[in-house]
Structure 1
Amino acid sequence: MNIHTISAYETSAERFFGRLEAWEADLVLDARLKNTNQLAGFTKRDDLAFFVDRIAHARYVHDKLFAPAPTMLERYLHGNIDWDAYADSYRRDLRERDAVALFFERYGGFLSVALVGTETRSRRSHVEVLKQMLEEALVA
């Protein structure tokens, strides 16, 4: 299984879907907590589900099991905690949820997975932590 991360922000549809096609993604796993507001543009949940199917010919799933805890996300976004504290908290949450095992139980049959997150020029996204944990489990 190949695992990639992709941001729903600060990108064009052409670049977003071009990357999915280049990766031959067969699953686009949306791990965002909030993905239905107007600011999400073409990556709003229902629009993204339509476009992923039609353009990338992949399955789209929004799975909040892999989203960060709302309180920690807000603290990170508002600068109350730094990236390392946020990433450590997210790792703990994933371990408590047994999320890595559940990922492989639910999605282990896919060959190329794109994890949708919220990286911008000024902030990192939780999906890079998720990717690292999933890749560590693959080699273990």
Structure 2
Amino acid sequence: MRITTISAYETSADQFFGALESWDVDLLLDTRLKNTNQLAGFTKKNDLAYFVPRLLHADYVHDKLFAPAPTKLERYLHGNIDWDNFAAAYREDMREREAIPQFFDRYGKYQSVCLLGTATRQRRSHVEVLQEMLEEAIK
């Protein structure tokens, strides 16, 4: 299984779908807490549920199991904790939820999975940590 990440922000639809196509993604896994407001732009949940199967012939799933805890995410976004502390807290949340084994139970049949997160030029995304955890489990 190949695992990649992509951000819903600071990208055009052409760049976004072009990257997914070049990676031959068969699953776009949306791990965002909030994916229905206008800030999500063309990456709103219902839009991706429509476009991903039609443009990429891939599956789209929104799965909050892999989203960060809202309070920890807010603390990171507002600068109350740094990246390292946020990443450590997210790792611990994933362990407590037993998320990694559940990922493989739910999505183990896919060959190329892209994790959709919310990185920007100014901040990193939890999907970086999730990708590391999943790749460690594959080894």
| Deviation, structure 1 residue 13 | 0.3
Taking the aligned partners of 1:61 and 1:11, their CA distance within structure 2 comes to 20
Is residue 30 from structure 1 mapped to residue 35 from structure 2 by the alignment? no
| Deviation, structure 1 residue 108 | 0.2
| Deviation, structure 1 residue 103 | 0.1
Taking the aligned partners of 1:99 and 1:108, their CA distance within structure 2 comes to 13
The SS at the match of 1:72 is helix
Taking the aligned partners of 1:52 and 1:67, their CA distance within structure 2 comes to 20
Q: How does 1:79-90 map to 2 (within 5 A)?
A: 79-90=79-90
Is residue 3 from structure 1 mapped to residue 13 from structure 2 by the alignment? no
- Cross-structure match for 1:112: 112
| Deviation, structure 1 residue 25 | 0.2
Q: Which amino acid aligns with 1:113?
A: V
Gaps of 5+ in 2: none
RMSD, aligned CA:
0.4
Query: Which one is further off, 125-134 or 50-59?
Result: 50-59
Equivalent pairs, count: 139
Gaps of 5+ in 1: none
Q: Scaled by the length of structure 2, what TM-score is found? A: 0.99
The SS at the match of 1:81 is coil
- Cross-structure match for 1:128: 128
Sequence identity, in percent? 71
- Cross-structure match for 2:40: 40
The SS at the match of 2:68 is coil
| Deviation, structure 1 residue 56 | 1.1
Taking the aligned partners of 1:99 and 1:9, their CA distance within structure 2 comes to 25
